[in-house]
Amino acid sequence: MDHTENDCLLIAVLSHGEMGMLYAKDTHYKPDNLFYHFTADKCPTLAGKPKIFFIQACQGDKLDGGITLANRTETDGLSSASYRIPTHADFLVAYSTVPGYYSWRNTTRGSWFMQALC
């Protein structure tokens, strides 16, 4: 597929899951199987362009009860340029939870993670 005219790729997966697996309607798969199709060697017209994946799915059955913070802080990151990039460059993968834990969502309003992104 030719992505020459596109500036980035953004994929959002909202599903159920468990540690290292995402569930689809009739199967389950590893998230790496999704990313694999968009590496620079498989999809050269996306090379050097951001490939962003938001994944709303459980990664286990533990509960993260959270904490209350008094103050918020922000930090700025510095970017660098390179003439040669790795095959798996320019990927950003954001999960709604960390490995081993289930993902929070409201049955009426949906996922706080996806709502925050929108």
Q: What six digits make up the tokens of 10?
A: 């953004």
Are 13 and 34 spatial neighbours (Cβ–Cβ below 8 Å)? yes
Q: Which of 3, 58, 88, 118 is the catalytic position? A: 58
8 is catalytic: no
Catalytic residue, candidates 16, 37, 88, 118: 16
Q: 38 with 46: CB under 8 angstroms?
A: yes
List CB contacts of 49: < 8 A, sequence separation 6 or more.
Answer: 3, 6, 7, 8, 9, 90
What residues are annotated to the active site? 16, 58
